């Protein structure tokens, strides 16, 4: 059976942080980004308003800042090893994140077959954010369905890895889900749960369960 492994980014592949926080750290605006992350997590603002405020925060952002943030970010260990193993097994892997696509898409360099994020204007910013390009929890399911079509698999063949309520819709749509350093709400609604900083160990939960069948 060919499988499609779907990975969240913020709080999942990135340990205890988000791409916007790591990008903002390069501008000396980490505290402001953390406050925005808390606001969206608490439901006080939605993805479009979050993106609008982040775009305003990043008035001086350049590609060099983004590259520095990507390089310095606290990634889980062995991400590339996991994606290499997935590929060698004849399976597929993709990242779907609400974070900016100009950060998320860099993960194709590490072996992801596809990487999707919210669409922001080109850097340096001269245009406002288009709300239509900002992803939501429901959009993750829509993108996953498109990837299923692209790779010739179905929802029944998918495994989702995530950490928060933004992953809930996708977790509900697929049969196998892995909570990675997740909040308690999500951890109670998954087939596997992992706490740690090594993606291989989270991936092994799925492999071991499949082998035991």
Integer Cα distance of 209 and 213 in angstroms: 7
**Residues with pLDDT less than 50, the chain:** none
pLDDT of residue 189: 77
Cα–Cα distances (Å) from 117 to 51, 202, 211, in that order, read 12, 23, 33
pLDDT of residue 58: 98
Q: Using an 8 Å Cβ cutoff, are 194 and 202 in contact?
A: yes
Indicate the average pLDDT of the chain: 95
pLDDT of residue 212: 64
pLDDT of residue 213: 63
Element spanning 182, H or E = none
Integer Cα distance of 48 and 107 in angstroms: 23
- Tens of pLDDT, residue by residue over 74-84, are 999 999 999 99
To the nearest whole percent, how much of the chain has pLDDT over 90? 90
Q: Using an 8 Å Cβ cutoff, are 101 and 118 in contact?
A: yes
- Burial class of residue 62 in the structure, from the number of CB atoms within 10 Å of its CB (0-12 exposed, 13-18 middle, 19+ buried): middle
Write the CATH number of the domain with boundaries 4-15+75-211.
Answer: 3.40.50.1000
pLDDT of residue 183: 78
Integer Cα distance of 193 and 202 in angstroms: 8
pLDDT of residue 211: 72
Task: Please give the sequence-ordered ranges of beta strands (E in DSSP) within the chain, or none if there are none.
Answer: 4-7, 92-100, 114-118, 158-162, 176-180, 192-194
Q: Residue 13's CB: how many other CB atoms inside 10 A?
A: 26
- Backbone φ and ψ for 20, nearest 5 degrees, come out as -60, -35
By C-alpha distance, which of 139, 140, 20, 130 is closest to 73? Answer: 20
- Tens of pLDDT, residue by residue over 34-53, are 999 999 988 999 999 999 99
- The residue length of the chain stands at 213
pLDDT of residue 186: 76
- Tens of pLDDT, residue by residue over 54-70, are 999 999 999 999 999 99
pTM of the complete model: 0.96
- Burial class of residue 213 in the structure, from the number of CB atoms within 10 Å of its CB (0-12 exposed, 13-18 middle, 19+ buried): exposed
């Amino acid at each position: 059976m060919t499988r499609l492994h779907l990975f969240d980014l913020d709080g999942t592949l990135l340990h205890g942080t988000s791409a916007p926080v790591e990008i903002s750290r390069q501008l000396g605006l980490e505290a402001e980004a953390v406050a925005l992350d808390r606001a969206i997590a608490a439901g006080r603002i939605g993805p479009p308003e979050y993106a609008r405020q982040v775009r305003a925060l990043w008035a001086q952002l350049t590609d060099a800042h983004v590259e520095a943030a990507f390089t310095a970010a606290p990634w889980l260990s062995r991400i590339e090893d996991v994606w290499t193993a997935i590929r060698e097994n004849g399976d597929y892997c993709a990242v779907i994140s609400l974070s900016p696509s100009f950060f998320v898409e860099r993960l194709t360099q590490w072996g992801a077959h596809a990487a999707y994020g919210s669409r922001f204007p080109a850097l340096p910013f001269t245009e406002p954010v288009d709300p239509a390009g900002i992803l939501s929890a429901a959009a993750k399911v829509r993108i996953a369905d498109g990837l299923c079509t692209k790779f010739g698999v179905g929802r029944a063949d998918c495994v989702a890895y995530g950490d928060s309520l933004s992953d809930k819709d996708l977790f509900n749509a697929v049969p196998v889900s892995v909570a990675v350093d997740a909040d308690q709400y999500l951890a109670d609604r998954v087939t596997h749960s992992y706490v740690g900083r090594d993606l291989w160990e989270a991936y092994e939960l799925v492999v071991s369960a499949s082998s035991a069948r």
